[in-house]
Structure 1
Amino acid sequence: MAPSEMKLYDYVDPVDAECVRREVEDLMRAFFPGYDGAIFRNAFADVERLFAGGYPGYRASNTKYHNFEHTCSVVLAAVRLVYGAMVRGETFAEGDCLKGLLAALFHDVGLIQDEDDVQGTGAKHTVGHEERSIQFMRCYLADALSEQDVEDIADCIRCTILAMSPGKIAFRTDAMRQMGYFTGTADLLAQIADRYYLEKLLLLFEEFKEAKLPGYGNAFDLVLKTRSFYKDVARKRLDREFQGADRYMLAYSRSWLSVDKDLYREAIERNLAYLDKILAECNGDLDEFVAKLRRNYVNEPLC
């Protein structure tokens, strides 16, 4: 396949956690040749265990949208932004980059239930799950990093709270503010550029319903509002509040992949174009919408 024909997921598939971890190490070593990676590598393995149900004191992850694949895709997007920024001449300390990547890694662990929490799924913790994630991260990293470093990571995780402006977060340094922007940007890009994004919207609605989030009467309502979410919420947050940090994806693609295009923007535009196409064909019918999706990703009955 010619480089011009390659798509985002042709390079690293977030389903392959080991491949994601290696990509993180390779990109970090491009600018930090002595990068050891032990802290991140150990944390990555433990977060994978946490999602799988093998971490003491916790149930396996049961949120089908916010799963470990999503976490891997956010980590991958975050390290690509860091790399792209440094290609463009931004200078960061290795430790600051590590903290940004750890924020991406831990940002959704708050959706995982304690072993004694047996009612419903982790989706019920959607509102406020970021602070739950921070609490887990604090405990996990307490012996590995300083308290100041841990609080830097907490600030970055808060950049994934859609209702919170990053301007209200008192970042300790400009470098950590940028890492926070990368974390929040990576979370949005990874979701909307997902090759199964349209299919996964139906799973996201199930999480929203359990969390009792207002604004969506049914799954099809969420689908109908997806383009406006991108334009009026995600795009404005990316451009204004995160100061266009996603621009560094093009530098990543050009330098690391020798591809002269932003693979994330391309994937997002493809998803939205296909969404428009099938919405125009399905006449407001959810079942017909599901039938027209590109892949049969969702195999379960929908409410």
Structure 2
Amino acid sequence: MNNGSHLITVDQLEAILTTSFLRMFPDTTIHLVPEIFDHVQAMFEGRHPDYQASDTPYHNLQHTMQVLLCYNGIMEGWHMSGTEPRLTPRQYELGACAVLFHDTGYLKLRADTQGTGAKYTFTHVLRSCSFASSYLPRHGITLTELDSILAMIRCTAFTQGSHHFRFQEPIDGIVGCAVATADYLGQIAAPDYPESLPLLFAELKESDDYANIPAAQRRFKTLEELVTDTPVFWRKYVQPRLEKELLGVYRFLAHPYPDGPNPYVDAVNANIGRIEKNLKA
């Protein structure tokens, strides 16, 4: 199992997804994810007629790929363990579509010439849902399936869990939890996460500036505040959210399941340890 311990290329990720899908569903061919992946990659790289290339320093295509890799690991762990409710090939692919679109709300339209896409931090989930709504029905997604995908995307909002939304099937709620869990672990477990905090702060600052938030009301006034708060954010906010609102699906990343090591949690703890060591230096 890949633990996100290195940056990943598009070709590597596509190979992992194809192999994993065949393990889960040996009688089915993965087809929707490669198609949507190609289009989303074109959006991020500026090869789409409507969108500029991604210019956000942190929430870029590499981040989306790290999230998709983690999502795949959760879903494979869930499915191969025989846990109920059972996952279907279609539901797996719908969840992957949610991952691929979950940060498209940071992209700028061609006519948008001010700042970077980071200015949309506060509205990027809504924009991602809007982009998905206008795009996915043209690629065989039914309106019922689209409703589930949009709910999965909304699960990635900081204040939301799957219980806030009405899913058509119980497994869709589980997939939504996997999408949101992967959004956390995919980035915090990334090998360059501690070094990427200045990029994240730059995005937050631009979004605060764009929204005209007074300095005294900003969550992080300096990079130092963000770095200092990161271990607290992981232990006091993310871990409880993973356990409760997101139903503990991160456990299915353990390899072998259920008693093996969890490479994502181990990588996160290593990153938090590095941050704390640097703070003490």
Scaled by the length of structure 2, the TM-score of the pair is 0.92
- Residue 7 of structure 1: CA displacement? 8.2
For 1:179, the aligned partner's letter is: V
- Give the match for residue 42 of structure 1: 35
- Give the match for residue 261 of structure 2: 261
Query: 1:139 and 1:14 mapped to 2: Cα distance?
Result: 31
Listed as ranges, the gaps of 5+ residues in structure 1 are: 1-5, 282-303
- Determine if the alignment matches structure 1 residue 275 to structure 2 residue 268: no
- Give the match for residue 182 of structure 1: 178
Residue aligned with 1:128, SS:
helix
The Cα offsets for residues 13-43 of structure 1, whole Å up to 9 and x where unpaired, read as 4430111112111111112113322221111
Query: 1:157 and 1:9 mapped to 2: Cα distance?
Result: 21
Query: 2:50 and 2:80 mapped to 1: Cα distance?
Result: 42
- Give the match for residue 72 of structure 1: 65
Query: 2:4 and 2:98 mapped to 1: Cα distance?
Result: 23
The Cα offsets for residues 71-127 of structure 1, whole Å up to 9 and x where unpaired, read as 000001001100001122122111111111111111100100000111001011111
- Residue 235 of structure 1: CA displacement? 0.7
- Give the match for residue 218 of structure 1: 222
For 2:57, the aligned partner's letter is: K
Change (3 A) 1:156 1:14: farther
Aligned pair count reads 269
Match of 1:229 among 216, 226, 233: 233
Tell me which moved more, 164-173 or 52-61.
164-173
- Residue 165 of structure 1: CA displacement? 3.6
- Determine if the alignment matches structure 1 residue 139 to structure 2 residue 134: yes
Residue aligned with 1:191, SS:
helix
- Give the match for residue 8 of structure 1: 3
- Residue 181 of structure 1: CA displacement? 0.3
Following superposition of structure 1 onto structure 2, how do residues 142-181 of structure 1 map, counting pairs within 5 Å? Answer: 142-143=137-138, 144-181=140-177
Following superposition of structure 1 onto structure 2, how do residues 76-95 of structure 1 map, counting pairs within 5 Å? Answer: 76-90=69-83, 91-95=86-90
Misfit runs of 4+, over 6 Å? none
Match of 2:104 among 109, 129, 139: 109
Match of 2:117 among 114, 118, 122: 122
Confirm or deny: 8 A CA contact 2:201 2:226 kept in the other structure: yes
Query: 2:204 and 2:24 mapped to 1: Cα distance?
Result: 40
- Residue 232 of structure 1: CA displacement? 1.4
Confirm or deny: 8 A CA contact 1:14 1:20 kept in the other structure: no
Confirm or deny: 8 A CA contact 2:4 2:70 kept in the other structure: no
For 2:107, the aligned partner's letter is: I
